[in-house]
């Protein structure tokens, strides 16, 4: 496993960041490891984000020195969404099969976790979020059809999209982790507009399903002092609780959102009027 630690950041320092510093603090450029786990460990609510592509062999998830724990999930829970070919995840001897856009919740205390692809010529691509946990909940497979899905927006406002909520209280018990996937229809480019913050939890976005030479301009910062980070395919961005998290693409795209913090209420948002954004 490769694990990179990101320190805290705050609103006062953020005001003085240039483009390079914004990217250094919040952008995760390399998300997926080939035949290994690559993770970024943010001190913001201590979320871990990263991915695994088993391209030629099984990948066993081990711990890291920074966690000071005998196993990766000794004190943590984990959510996984597969955005590649069919794959399997073995959790303490039980094997779960994940098709494209299927998810798996793995509760605290799971010891031996093994990732594999059904076909190495079309490998699985497992995107992972992990958060500290205070209680054990059962491991659960959530297929795309089992997700709580909401179709929102319109072509007129360029934000027609479907939100698939995988790890939310209505679908799967967890300690604090929420996780889901949002897909924008052809002709739609905006996500999360009007914007909002939620001071009770932070969020990480993974942008994917973008063709070559396309990008997303990810908006962040307080509503009255916004910045943007240019995102390319298979890149993730850390969003502190004080920051908006919105994006506009050069074409439609898909993104995975993961949240952890004070509560799990998906609709707990502090909305900001579009006329007040600066």
CB 106 within 8 A of CB 175: no
Contact 194, 272 (CB under 8 A): yes
d(CA 117, CA 32): 14
Contacting residues for 105 by C-beta, under 8 A, at least 6 apart: 77, 78, 79, 80, 137, 139, 140, 142, 166, 167, 172, 174, 177
Contacts of 60 (CB under 8 A, 6+ apart): 112, 113, 114, 115
Q: Which residue has the tokens 């973008």?
A: 210
DSSP 144-210: GGGSEEEEE--TTTT--EEEEEEESTTT---SS-EEEEEEEPTT--EES-S-EE-TTEEEEEEEE--
Task: Provide the 8-state DSSP code for 84.
Answer: S
Could you list the residues known to form a binding site for Zn(2+), using ranges. 196, 198, 203, 245
The binding site consists of 196, 198, 203, 245
Q: What's the CA gap between 228 and 21, in Å, rounded?
A: 12
Q: For residue 91, what are its two tokens?
A: 């959790």
């Amino acid at each position: 496993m490769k694990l990179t630690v990101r320190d805290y950041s705050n609103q006062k320092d953020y005001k003085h960041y240039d483009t390079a510093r914004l990217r250094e603090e919040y952008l995760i450029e390399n998300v997926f490891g080939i035949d290994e786990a690559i993770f970024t460990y943010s001190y913001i609510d201590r979320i871990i984000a990263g991915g695994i592509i088993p391209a030629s062999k099984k990948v066993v998830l081990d711990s890291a020195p920074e966690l000071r724990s005998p196993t990766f999930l000794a004190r943590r829970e984990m959510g996984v969404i597969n955005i590649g070919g069919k794959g399997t995840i073995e959790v303490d001897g039980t094997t779960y099969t994940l098709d494209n856009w299927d998810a798996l919740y793995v509760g605290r205390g799971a010891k031996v976790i093994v990732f594999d692809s059904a076909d190495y010529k079309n490998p699985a691509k497992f995107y992972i979020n992990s958060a500290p946990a205070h209680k054990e909940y059962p491991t659960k497979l959530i297929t795309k059809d089992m997700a709580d899905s909401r179709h929102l927006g319109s072509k007129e406002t360029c934000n027609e999209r479907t939100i698939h909520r995988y790890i939310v209280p209505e679908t799967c018990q967890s300690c604090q982790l929420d996780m889901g996937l949002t897909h924008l229809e052809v002709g739609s480019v905006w996500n999360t507009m009007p914007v909002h913050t939620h001071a009770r939890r932070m969020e990480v976005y993974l942008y994917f399903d973008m063709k070559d030479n396309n990008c997303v301009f990810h908006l962040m910062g307080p509503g009255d002092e916004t910045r943007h980070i240019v995102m390319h395919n298979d890149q993730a961005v850390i969003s502190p609780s004080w920051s908006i998290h919105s994006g506009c693409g050069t074409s439609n795209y898909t993104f995975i959102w993961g949240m952890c913090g004070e509560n799990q209420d998906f609709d707990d948002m502090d909305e900001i009027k579009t006329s007040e954004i600066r």
